[in-house]
Amino acid sequence: MTPPSSPIGRLLDIMARLRDPNGGCPWDLEQSFATIAPYTIEEAYEVADAIDHGDMVQLKDELGDLLFQVVFYAQMGKERGDFDFDAIAGAIADKMVRRHPHVFVAADGRDAAGQTEAWEVTKARERAAKAVAEPGVLDGVARALPPMTRALKLQRRAARVGFDWTAPKDILDKLDEEAREIAHEIAIDAPADRLEDEMGDLLFVCVNLARKLDVDPERALKRANAKFERRFRHIETELRARGRSPDSASLDEMEALWQAAKTLEKSGGDGDR
């Protein structure tokens, strides 16, 4: 049992009080696993954002918010008689020991890459042990993951059994093919569902190319977002200095300012070009 005097014990007590039908918080009492899940995803992204900005004060706060999500699930599980916080902590502790035999049993001299491969093998065995029928290669890739992250995980799973491109050039050729296909759909004024389907294929191939180049597609897109925001803000700033705004400027004028922003970044040694 977690000592009630410990910080985590206090947090567990607070959560229990919030969920107490007699005097608890109405909002907390209304929640379920399904309604809390979106908040958990949001909190995880806020943790990542604090890390990205190197803000340790904010990171501590966001990690607390994320921990509270786990405590919330633990309380709801306890109320149903399914599990509690100690059961969650015990299960992950057992799993970490099981997946790190090179640390807790005997050192085997593997490097980081070798340990990653061993980790995946262990996970596959665990999935097979849980499965009632013959386990599939793609089993266990959560459907609730962000689509780009899920695409990357699906591709990595398939690659482990040899279903993979040989070289980046092959994927670039496929990218050209997918681009031609969506261009055709646009030319024939295809319905929205066909365009969405082809757009999905194009994005899936882009993720595959990133994986083959050992580039994190989420991080790459994050950099592209930051680059776009930075350059567009330059357009706004320059137009504001002229007493103008983007909605009163022509596309050619804004494009010229965009190119000026790129030139400034390059002269300043910015890596996002």
CATH number at residue 79: 1.10.287.1080
Q: What count of other Cβ atoms lies within 10 Å of the Cβ of residue 217?
A: 19
Q: Tell me whether residue 13 is in a domain.
A: yes
pLDDT reading at 262 higher than 50: yes
pLDDT tens for 156-185 read: 999 999 999 999 999 999 999 999 999 999
175 phi/psi in degrees, rounded to 5: -65, -40
pLDDT value of position 130: 62
Residues 198 and 254 placed together within one structural domain of the fold: no
Residues 14 and 85 placed together within one structural domain of the fold: yes
Domain housing 223: 218-267
DSSP 25: -
pLDDT value of position 105: 79
Share of the chain above pLDDT 70, in %: 86
pLDDT reading at 269 higher than 60: no
What total number of domains does the chain contain? 4
Residues 263 and 192 placed together within one structural domain of the fold: no
Residues 259 and 247 placed together within one structural domain of the fold: yes
CA dihedral sign of residues 82, 127, 208, 113:
positive
State the average pLDDT over residues 173-200: 96
d(CA 172, CA 37) in angstroms, rounded, equals 37
- Residue with the larger pLDDT of the pair 109 and 245: 245
- Model-wide pTM > 0.75: no
pLDDT tens for 103-130 read: 887 765 566 666 666 656 666 666 666 6
pLDDT reading at 273 higher than 50: no
Q: Helix %, strand %, coil % for the chain, to 5? A: 75, 0, 25
pLDDT tens for 6-40 read: 999 999 999 999 999 999 999 999 999 999 998 99
Query: Which residue, chain included where needed, has tokens 């015990």?
Result: 90
pLDDT tens for 65-111 read: 999 999 999 999 999 999 999 999 999 999 999 888 878 877 655 66
Residues 91 and 109 placed together within one structural domain of the fold: no
pLDDT reading at 219 higher than 70: yes
Q: Tell me whether residue 210 is in a domain.
A: yes
pLDDT value of position 272: 52
Q: Tell me whether residue 2 is in a domain.
A: no
Q: Tell me whether residue 140 is in a domain.
A: no
Residues 90 and 16 placed together within one structural domain of the fold: yes
pLDDT value of position 240: 96
Query: Which residue, chain included where needed, has tokens 């902590």?
Result: 89
Inter-residue contact 211 to 217 (CB < 8 Å) = yes
pLDDT value of position 22: 95
